[in-house]
Amino acid sequence: MELLPFFTEKHRELESTVRQFAERDVAPCAVEDEHEEARARELIRLMASAGLLRYVVPEAYGGLSPRLDVRSLCLIRDGLAYVSGLADTMFAMQGLGSYPITLAGSEALKRRYLPPVARGEAIAAFALTEPEAGSDVSAIQATANRMDDRYELNGIKTFISNAGLADFYVVFAKTDPGQGHRGLSAFVVEASTPGFVLDEKLALIASHPIGRVKFERCHIPRDHLLGEEGEGFKIAMQTLDVFRSTVAAAAVGMARRALDEALAYSQRRVQFGRPLAEFQGIQFKLAEMATELEAARLLVYRAAWKKDRGAARVTRESSMAKFYATEAAQRIIDQAVQIHGGQGVVRGSVVERLYREIRALRIYEGTSEIQRIVIARELLKGC
């Protein structure tokens, strides 16, 4: 589908480059096996070699644009997710885990962490969620107590992508527990810091390096604070404001693959003497899938385009894109499985893998229920 109003010639060139890279280099790593961590590291290496990781940091620190181009991030995630959910995850986390440093890090922190991210030499992570604090960020219990020239960090973070794999984590903790989300601050914590503990790796329904980490009297330098004390909530929300539209782009990539697989299968699978594609019931499914896919893609790139045009916040647009695209992708992939019939639930088939991979996107970086709340709140602001 052409999106000429939203894309420049460079974006169209990038779209073609990512497609070729995914087919040539990513597809061989898309087979799920027990060597998830090794495949994840190899994908980081491949993306760095292809120059894709340079899109997640600003030009001054090894990137390709003066500031992050959200349309480029979306195009890359769309193209990677078409082939591999793990590749999409690894690319996304390089951005999500480093963007708070781009936003609020000191010059020293930016120069220390951003160039290695762009070169694929450092793997990033974003540590916000806790056992008792998911959607409710104000319920975070991790604390960071200031002690002269350092902070002592204590607490547990769970469902952290790249847990045990990342070289550094952007961690959100309370510096003033009595102030709710206003007492939240953000820090950069290296995995080698004493007191940092990989507590458990979690096995999800689709390939995804994720787990739980602990901070036990973990002392971090005072200058690893991002911004000022109490600015953690703002940093987290500004980060999600950008990356929610990229989650939606990943959903679009998965949905595109599902539709392509359904189109191909429906034309070669013969029942009652003719291909499935000749039955009106199947045609209706395909028509609905294609329409939802195009609507989702338009929402994604509208949000990204608006941010790239200089909008300070795109909260409503990114939440609409994330909500609609992930829910639509779930429906599209489900219909693709239905069209495949028994073959659709065979372990290892493309649509079966997509069916498992898409499910998490409706949860992370704000559930669909939270997106509804955000969208309604934004609408009511103007009333």
- The contacts of residue 195 (CB under 8 Å, 6+ apart) are 153, 215, 216, 217, 218, 219
Query: Do strands 168-174 and 124-127 pair parallel, antiparallel, or not at all (unpaired)?
Result: parallel
Tokens 């005072």 belong to 222
**One-letter-per-residue 3-state SS of 294-309:** HHHHHHHHHHHHHHHC
> What letter would DSSP give residue 341?
G
Q: What is each CA distance from 274 to 234, 261, 347, 367, in whole angstroms? A: 58, 18, 27, 42
Alpha-carbon distance values, 146 to 161, 171, 216, 224 (Å): 27, 15, 15, 12
Catalytic residue among 15, 32, 231, 365: 365
365 is catalytic: yes
Check if the beta carbon of residue 197 is closer than 8 Å to that of residue 152: no
CA distance 168 to 158: 15
Q: Three-state secondary structure along 47-105?
A: HHHCCHHHHHCEHHHCCCECCCCHHHHHHHHHHHHHHCHHHHHHHHHHHHHHHHHHHHC
Active site residue ranges? 365
